[in-house]
Every structure is written in C-alpha cells, then in structure tokens.
Copies of this chain bind each other. A is one copy, B any other.
Amino acid sequence: MGLLHDEGLDAVSMRRVADRLGVAPNSIYAHVADKAALVDELIDAMLGTVSTPTDDGWRERIERVMRDSRGALLAHPDLIPFALVRQSVGPNALRLGEVTLTSLREAGLDGAEAVTGLQVLLVHTIGSAAFEAGRTQDPEPAARSRRGRERAVDFGGVTAELSDPISRWSGDVVFERGLAWLLDGLVSDTASHD
C-alpha cells in the first residue's frame, strides 16, 4: 500500500515490493498466490478505510456506503479498473455488501431483487469512479497521436459540444445524479409490485 501510494500501481512489481520488505522477490509467492491475488488484497485493504454506516434510514446508509466507497476508490485511482473486473469479495467488500443488502431488504426488495439492486449500485459506484479516474489522471502518455492524425474532429459540430463538457466536468454530478435515479427507480419499482 505504501508503494502504491508513493509511486502508483506501475511501481508495484514483485521486485519493488520485495525490495521494500528487504527480501528476495520469490519470497512473496509464499504469502500470495499471484500478482493478481496481491492486487486483490490491495483492493480489499483500500476498502478497509470505509466504515460501516450507522444511520437510521436505509437510504442514508446506502448513500453513505456508496459515497465513502467512491472516496476510497478515488484515493487510489490505479486500482479502480481491477475493482470492477476482479471482484475478489474480500472481508471488507463483504462487510459493505452485507450492510447494503440488508438496507435494500429494509427498502422492501425481496431476495433476488435485493441482490440485483446491490450489483447495479456497485456497477454505478465503481464504474463512475473509473470513468472519473480516467478523465483525471495521465493526460500525456505519449503526446497523443504520432503526427496529428486529427481523429475525433469535425463530426458535425456536435463534437465540441460532446467532448468539451466531458473533459472539464465534475464527476460528483454523474455519481450523485445516477445514484439518485437508481434509488428512486428501486423504490418506485417496489411500490408498483405491491
């Protein structure tokens, strides 16, 4: 985690980690199966900073879990893509998933629907964080295309309208609006079912 925080995920190689610990690179394989497994543990360690909410209302609890998880994700942007694809379900992810699931049941969703709701919320939270992290960081990997190949230009004037506000927009809006829409949709769906 220290290495990740100091120099980013690219610096987290087996050799660098081993250096940091003062051991040989292979020693790590006695504690971790794989590099992927190491990243999985990093992800769950990151979620360890998110506390279990104790609010009264189910909606407030869900909003807090998702908002805080988003904060933890954005604190370590390099990890976000892996959080979506490799859902390792470590103890911390499990803890937060549990709270959300019971909150959704409190909201009136039955077993299968609550699970679907949790998954949709996860997709939105992690997905919007990934989207924002992509916009935020590394703007200059190799100075765009080779010889100004002018792709993504003049597609009818909508281009400026589309790609411009995207580039300088607030990720909070996307997250908060999407979260509100989803929670609204969840309850209205339940109400119509009854």
Q: Which residues of A contact B (CB under 8 A)?
A: 29-34, 36-37, 80-82, 84-91, 94-95, 97-98, 101-102, 111-112, 115-116, 119-120, 122-124, 126-128, 130-131, 133-135, 141-146, 151-152, 155-156, 158-159, 161-163, 165-166, 169, 173-174, 177-178, 180-182, 184-186, 188-189
Contacts and interface: CB of A to CB of B under 8 A. Distances in A.
16 contacts: A33-B146, A81-B85, A84-B127, A85-B134, A97-B162, A115-B166, A115-B169, A116-B177, A119-B131, A120-B178, A120-B181, A127-B127, A181-B181, A181-B185, A184-B184, A188-B188
A10 to B, nearest CB: 12
A74 to B, nearest CB: 13
Contact of A159 (B94, B111, B131): B94
Total identical chains: 2
A89 to B, nearest CB: 5
A32 B146 contact: yes
Contacts of A161: 101, 111
A165 B84 contact: no
A33 B189 contact: no
A181 B117 CA distance: 10
A181 to B, nearest CB: 3
Contact of A146 (B30, B82, B180): B30
A130 B97 CA distance: 18
A151 B36 contact: no
Contacts of A89: 152, 162-163, 166
